[in-house]
Each structure stands twice: as structure tokens, then as C-alpha cells.
A and B are shown apart, each in its own frame.
Chain A
Amino acid sequence: DTEVTQTPKHLVMGMTNKKSLKCEQHMGHRAMYWYKQKAKKPPELMFVYSYEKLSINESVPSRFSPECPNSSLLNLHLHALQPEDSALYLCASSQEWTSLSSYNEQFFGPGTRLTVL
């Protein structure tokens, strides 16, 4: 299995809703990432989990809460979002998360298109 899956594909939520995005990989990768991508912009790193521990939080607002229940799963819990949070949310994984180049190839899931009303 060489893919990263994400659910749901599309999500529309109000500013008072609570929802979760899910990501799963079965490649044995030990690093998983959340990115946010706005139209015509590059992906922006939000969080990195390495060996199920949060390793990077790129000063993301607390209305985004990541969770890594096990080595294959990554969740992003959403609460009290703003319309400007509407974007494509991408999950990615890589073999490892280190400064060694060999392990930094990241594979992306299909993304969740989030619209906040």
C-alpha cells in the first residue's frame, strides 16, 4: 500500500461547529504532516509528528488541534474556525523526519477541501 488517504474529501462547516479531518497511511512511515494550501499558493506546513509525538507546531492557532493516535493515523480537530481558514488541507507522510535527506520524501494524500461559512 503506497498511498495516503484522507477523509472527508469535502467539508463545509459553520464557525461554531466542531469537526475532524482524518489521515491514514500504511507505508510504515514514522513522520506525518499537516499542511494548509490556499489557491495558487504553496503548501504551508502546520504540524509535524515524528514517532507519534508532535515535533513542529508552526504557530498554528489553537482552533486547530492535531492528534496522532498511532503510527498510521493522524487527525486534525477543528473548532470555532474562521472563513479565512477555508483551504485545502493536506496530509503527508515520510519515512522519517530527520535532517538526513534520504528520508525526507513526502507523499501527500488527496486533501480535504474545507469551506468555513
Chain B
Amino acid sequence: QKEVEQNSGPLSVPEGAIASLNCTYSDRGSQSFFWYRQYSGKSPELIMFIYSNGDKEDGRFTAQLNKASQYVSLLIRDSQPSDSATYLCAVGGGFKTIFGAGTRLFVKA
């Protein structure tokens, strides 16, 4: 059974701080890694994807991948109240993408 694990939270950070979201996965053959943001009652929105070990930066977001440790993270710099949402980690390998249960993030103004 392929699994993707995330801390459900809630993770609470003050406005302007760095939010760090973590995800581990069980399938060593996984090839693609995605972060989705989901606001309450809305659909998931793709915000980052990463395929290679290391860091990938896009604006205030940085995804970090360590395949040896089977670990992927998302850093959000200068967190804003509008970043408050559930962040879903998704891992692809073979023909299926497996979603984690998500981490709820609250950014306090």
C-alpha cells in the first residue's frame, strides 16, 4: 500500500514568518511530487511540482525533495493571511498520484 503522510496540523504561524510543511512517502519508485493548496470548500490548486532532488523556488514558495529520505517539503516565505488553507502533498509514480491528507495552515495577522 503506497502511502503519503502529512501532519494534519493545524500549523499556525504569524504573518511574515516562514511556514514549513512536510510530507513523507513510502514508495521509493515515486518520480513526481506536487503541492496543492485547497481553500475550504474549493478545489485543489497546483502551486508547485518537483521531480529532482534539491530545491525548487517559485516566488515565495520553495519545494525541497530528498529522495534518499523519501521526504518532500514546502516552504512559504513571508506568509500572508491569504495563505491560510490546507496544503496537500501528492506523489506520483507509475500510473497513479497518491494524495496525502493535507496540513491545515493558519497565518495569523
Residues of chain A at the chain B interface (Cβ within 8 Å): 40-43, 45, 48, 55-56, 88, 90, 97-102, 104-111, 113
Contacts and interface: CB of A to CB of B under 8 A. Distances in A.
Contacts of B51: 101-102
Contacts of B36: 108
B43 A104 contact: no
Given A41-B101, A101-B31, A101-B51, A90 B44 contact: yes
Interface residues of B, number: 24
B37 to A, nearest CB: 11
Q: What's the dominant secondary structure at chain B's contact region? A: strand
Contact of B101 (A42, A45, A102, A111): A42
A113 B44 CA distance: 14
Interface of B: 31-32, 34, 36, 41-46, 49, 51, 88, 90, 92-97, 99-102
B28 to A, nearest CB: 14
Given A90-B44, A101-B51, A110-B42, A42 B102 contact: yes
A99 B45 contact: no
Given A42-B88, A101-B31, 20 more contacts: A40-B101, A41-B101, A42-B101, A42-B102, A43-B88, A56-B96, A88-B43, A90-B43, A90-B44, A101-B51, A102-B51, A104-B32, A104-B97, A106-B46, A106-B97, A108-B45, A108-B46, A110-B42, A110-B43, A111-B42
Nearest to A106: B97
24 contacts: A40-B101, A42-B99, A42-B100, A42-B101, A42-B102, A48-B95, A56-B95, A88-B43, A90-B43, A97-B95, A98-B95, A99-B31, A99-B93, A101-B51, A102-B51, A104-B32, A105-B46, A105-B49, A106-B34, A106-B46, A110-B43, A111-B42, A111-B43, A113-B41
Contact of A104 (B88, B92, B101): B92
B101 A109 contact: no
Q: Most chain-B Cβ atoms within 10 A of its Cβ — which of A104, A105, A106, A111?
A: A104
